Every structure is written in C-alpha cells, then in structure tokens.
Amino acid sequence: MELLLLLISLLCLVFTITILRFLLAPKPPAAAAKLPPGPTRLPIIGNIHNLGAKPHRSLADLAKKHGPLMSIKLGRITTIVASSPAVAREILQKHDKVLSHRHTVLAMEVLDLHKFAMPFLPPDSKWRNLRKVCNSYLFTPQKIDSYQELRREKVLELLEDVRRAASQRPGEAVDVRRAVFRATLNSLSSTILSLNLGDVERSQTAREFQEVVSGIMEEAGKPNLGDYFPVLARMDLQGIQRRMKGYLENALNLFQWVIDERMRKIKSDDLYVSPNDMLHTLLAIGDDDNREGAAAVDPLSIKHLLWDLFVAGTDTTSSSLEWAMAEFLRHPDKLAKAREELDEIIGKGNHLCESDISRLPYLQAIVKETLRLRPVAPLLVPRKASEDVEICGFLVPKGAQILINVWAINRDPVAWDDPDSFMPERFLDSKVDVRGKDFELLPFGGGRRVCPGMSLGLRVFHMMLGSLIHWFEWKLPNGIVPEKLDMEEQLGMALHKFKPLLAVPTPK
C-alpha cells in the first residue's frame, strides 16, 4: 500500500523526466523491433503492475500467452524472461559468456558490495579467481569430506533439540523452520568460521549476527523504486539503501573482528593450532602467491567471500529443508516409504552418515522433487547481457536484465508428467539431475554462474532431512489434515514458505 501511494505520487515527476529524456534521446535502433514478444506496457511503469507478490508465478502465466522467450519492461529496465528448458539452454550454454554478467539492484550497491560480492561481480578476472578458490580449495570433495565430522555434530545437535522439545512438551508442535535454520546456520558457520552463529540463546555474537541477517533479508526482499527508475536511485525514497548500509556495516565489521582475532592468535601464539575451517584455508591461500586464485584472496576479499558464502548458503539450504518437511507432512505415504528405506539400509537406531546417501535412492528422489517444485531462487540471480545477442530469432539487447524462470521450467508440461504434483518416484528411473546439466531442472542455476556450494548444500540437506525422519514420527498439529496444510509462498531473498511449518515430533 505504502509502495502504491509512493508510486502514484511519483508518477508525475517521473513522467515529466521521461518525456524530456524521450525528446532528447537518440532514435531507438531499428533492431529494437525484434525484441521478443511480451505483454502490453503501461506508460512509465511498463509491466511492474504485472509482477504481483509472486513474480515467478505471474511471469509463468504471462509466458503461457507470450511464449517461453518474452520481453517486459520494468520501469526503465528492459527485461528478458526465459521460461522453457530449450530457451534456458540457449542462455546458459550457447550464450553463457555474454549473458553471465549480473544485473545488480541498489540494495547490493551500498558499500560497493557489487564490486566485491561474488554473486554480483561481472565475470572478470576477480570473479574467475574467486570461483577458482571455491572450486579448487573450498568445495572440493576432499575438503567437503574433511568437514564431515563437524556437520555430523550439528545433525546430532538438531536431533537433540527436537528430542528435548518432544520430551519437555509432549504432543506439542515445534517450529520446524527455527530448528532447521539454527542447525543449518550452525553447520555452515562452523564449517566457515568454527563458530555457532545459530546459538542465539548462548551467544551475543550470534544474536547480533541474526539481527543483521534478518534486517538484510527484509530490506533485500522489498521492491525498490530506484531499481525501476534510475532517476530516483540517489533519492533513496524508501530508505532501503540507508538501512541496508547500516546492517551491512555491522555484518562486515563482525566478520572483520573474527578474522582479526584469528590472525592475532596465529601471530601471538606459536602453539596455536588454527581450526580446520574455510577461514583457515583462505588465510593459507592468501599467504602463498603461487597458489591458483591467490590474487583474489586479499584480506578485504576474504571478509566479503565469507559473507557471500553465509548469505548464499544459509537461507537457501534451510528453506529447502523446510519445504521438504512440509511436503512429507502433506504426503504421509511418501514419508512412510522414505522411512522404510532408511530402516532397511541404515537400520533402526543407527545414525545416517554422508557416505550412506548414495545408497538411499528414495531420499535422493525426495530432495530432487522438493528442489524441482520449490526452487528457492525461482528466477535465479538476475543476469545482464554484455552485448546484443540473438536468441531464437529475437534480439536480447546489450544491458537487458535476464530472468530465468526456473520455477516455470521445473514445471514445464512438456518435460514433466503431471508437473504440479509431488511425485518423487519420477526420479527413480531417471538420470535427470539437479546440478545444472539438465535444463529442465535448474534449482542451482547453470552455466558458469552455477551455485558453487551445491555439493555442500546437498549434503546438509540429505543429512538433516534423512535424520529428522529416521529418528522421529512427525504429524501436523491441532488435527490439521495433510491436504489442508498451508503451502503459501513468500518471495524475499529466497522463496520461503509463508507461514513457518509447525509439526509434532514423537521419538521413534
């Protein structure tokens, strides 16, 4: 409502500026006529009104009318939307190089974040070096294996939390979102920094960190007028950039403090043994100029990279987990089948290990089916064309924003039977995987920008989900029947379940 009023009151101002710009601007190139088709645009706002609160769904509906390669205008921003596996292949495979720049939003430009943050950097040498650091040091299978014990500990703590809640308040529901967010954050923060940043009850640092993170999530999820109308960018009419700056400063200061403490201990105490975490690996690379990617690992970049990994890794993994638990509660027959598999392969009373995952095809199918139906980044991270490109006979002009609607692609009726149904069985005899090579299933994106943390995210996802259902019976509270479970979505930084999932655990 507040946004609508602002929009209306600004229309006159923007209208005048736009008319002036139009009159003074050079004539548009003839090739503009070849933009992909799209819905009718309103003056000034273009198609902003078409987006609604769930842009992935609105754009999927529009694509049914205008086709899988569509163009819309969001204020001043020409935007190209891809909505089929074939068009995604053109973008992520054939034209990946030219189309892998990022379209940044103002909230990501405060403190020059877009010049340091891997998700927003252009694909230049700095970005390439950071990706090398990820691929060659932080996320190699051996490195991920080496943190296995840490992750196991965090799974045990999650089980203990749920067990305690179940014994203190038998028959009462637990907040599954809170439990899995805390566990995921602890799992990642111990892997990255050897800290438990999810333990808000025990640690002031954790409390401060979570306040900052929820503030950032809230601001980043709000539509910002300045993103649609660059003439308004500097005015920061909604105060989003100002608040974002405050949160980010706090977050980065906190990380700087952790890094300084670690370096101080290393320098001042010869007997100090630095813990085996990602910070340790990054400091070691930074000390050795000959290592691949070392150029990207100066102290400032380390701070930013650590922050990127947190932001990109926590909400995505925990939200996927919450969706999977919700799908289980909506489909008790699938839950029973997944449990049967665990009992048979792992055995009652035995803990699940990461090496077991490959022997659990039904659990893997559940994870894939959840990621297919509930991709946490339904439009991926917006890309930008660095040159004019022709796709399927249409022009994608230089500077255009590119949205890949993986929510629509993952439900493409040509690629998937009964695409809106939760049917993990579809993956049992299928080679289709989530890793970005199969263009009908892209929950981690694809091409050179594909998620670098996917192997780690997938391990945490399988381990926590498998353990939660192996050790507890779960049912919905207050007699809610599975078909009535509210599955409403909310799109912020990630695609969340709108209402947190509440469920009653009973130890098996």
Q: Report the nearest approach of ligand HEM to the CB of residue 305 (Å).
A: 8
> Hey, which residues between 256 and 295 contact ligand HEM (CB under 6 A)?
none
Contact criterion met (CB below 8 Å) for 120 and 114: yes
Stretch of 162-170, 315-323, 340-348, 356-364 contacting ligand HEM, by CB under 6 A: 315-323
Closest CA to 463 of 154, 219, 254: 154
Contact criterion met (CB below 8 Å) for 424 and 334: yes
Annotated binding residue 12? no
Closer Cβ to ligand HEM, 229 or 461, answer by number: 461
Closer Cβ to ligand HEM, 50 or 410, answer by number: 410
Contact criterion met (CB below 8 Å) for 455 and 462: no
Among the listed residues 44, 118, 248, 325, the single contact to ligand HEM using CB under 6 A:
118
> Hey, which residues between 96 and 115 contact ligand HEM (CB under 6 A)?
none
> Hey, which residues between 177 and 196 contact ligand HEM (CB under 6 A)?
188
Contact between 226 and ligand HEM by CB under 6 A: the answer reads: no
Among the listed residues 101, 449, 459, 462, the single contact to ligand HEM using CB under 6 A:
449
Q: Report the nearest approach of ligand HEM to the CB of residue 122 (Å).
A: 10
Distances (CA, A) of 482 to 325, 470, 488: 12, 20, 14
Contact between 233 and ligand HEM by CB under 6 A: the answer reads: no
User: Which DSSP state fits 135?
Assistant: I
CA dist., res. 342 & res. 423, Å (int) = 19
Among the listed residues 416, 461, 471, 472, the single contact to ligand HEM using CB under 6 A:
461
CA dist., res. 359 & res. 431, Å (int) = 16
Residue 257 CB partners (closer than 8 Å, separation 6+): none
Contact criterion met (CB below 8 Å) for 504 and 476: yes
Contact between 312 and ligand HEM by CB under 6 A: the answer reads: yes
Take residue 307 and report the two structure tokens written for it.
């922050």
- Using CB atoms within 10 Å of the CB of residue 222, give its burial: 0 to 12 exposed, 13 to 18 middle, 19+ buried: middle
Residue 27 CB partners (closer than 8 Å, separation 6+): none
Among the listed residues 219, 308, 322, 369, the single contact to ligand HEM using CB under 6 A:
308
Stretch of 198-206, 235-243, 440-448, 481-489 contacting ligand HEM, by CB under 6 A: 440-448
Contact between 119 and ligand HEM by CB under 6 A: the answer reads: yes
Contact between 466 and ligand HEM by CB under 6 A: the answer reads: no
Closer Cβ to ligand HEM, 47 or 104, answer by number: 104
Q: Report the nearest approach of ligand HEM to the CB of residue 374 (Å).
A: 9
Q: Per residue, what are the HEC states of 173-199?
A: CEEHHHHHHHHHHHHHHHHHHCCCCCC
Stretch of 19-27, 80-88, 313-321, 338-346 contacting ligand HEM, by CB under 6 A: 313-321
Give phi and psi for 76, each to the nearest 5.
-90, -5
Closer Cβ to ligand HEM, 114 or 339, answer by number: 114
Take residue 15 and report the two structure tokens written for it.
């209208």
Helix (H, G, I), strand (E, B) or coil at 503: strand
Q: Report the nearest approach of ligand HEM to the CB of residue 320 (Å).
A: 4
Q: Report the nearest approach of ligand HEM to the CB of residue 49 (Å).
A: 26
Question: Within a 10 A sphere around the Cβ of 61, how many other Cβ atoms?
Answer: 12
Take residue 9 and report the two structure tokens written for it.
């009151």
Q: Report the nearest approach of ligand HEM to the CB of residue 481 (Å).
A: 29
Q: Report the nearest approach of ligand HEM to the CB of residue 202 (Å).
A: 23
Closer Cβ to ligand HEM, 143 or 163, answer by number: 143
Take residue 436 and report the two structure tokens written for it.
């970005």
Closer Cβ to ligand HEM, 68 or 453, answer by number: 453
Amino acid identity of residue 271, one-letter, is: L
Q: Per residue, what are the HEC states of 378-396?
A: CCCCCEECCCCEEECCEEE
Q: How far does CA 322 lie from the centroid of its chain?
A: 14
> Hey, which residues between 375 and 414 contact ligand HEM (CB under 6 A)?
376-377, 380-381
Stretch of 256-264, 284-292, 374-382, 411-419 contacting ligand HEM, by CB under 6 A: 374-382
Stretch of 33-41, 279-287, 309-317, 334-342 contacting ligand HEM, by CB under 6 A: 309-317
Contact between 451 and ligand HEM by CB under 6 A: the answer reads: yes
Contact between 452 and ligand HEM by CB under 6 A: the answer reads: yes
CA dist., res. 376 & res. 496, Å (int) = 7
Give CA angle at 234 (382, 10), nearest 5°.
90
Take residue 71 and report the two structure tokens written for it.
């163009």
The contact set with ligand HEM (CB under 6 A) reads 118-119, 188, 308-309, 312-313, 316-317, 320, 376-377, 380-381, 443-446, 449-454, 456-457, 461
Annotated binding site for heme: 451
Annotated binding site: 451
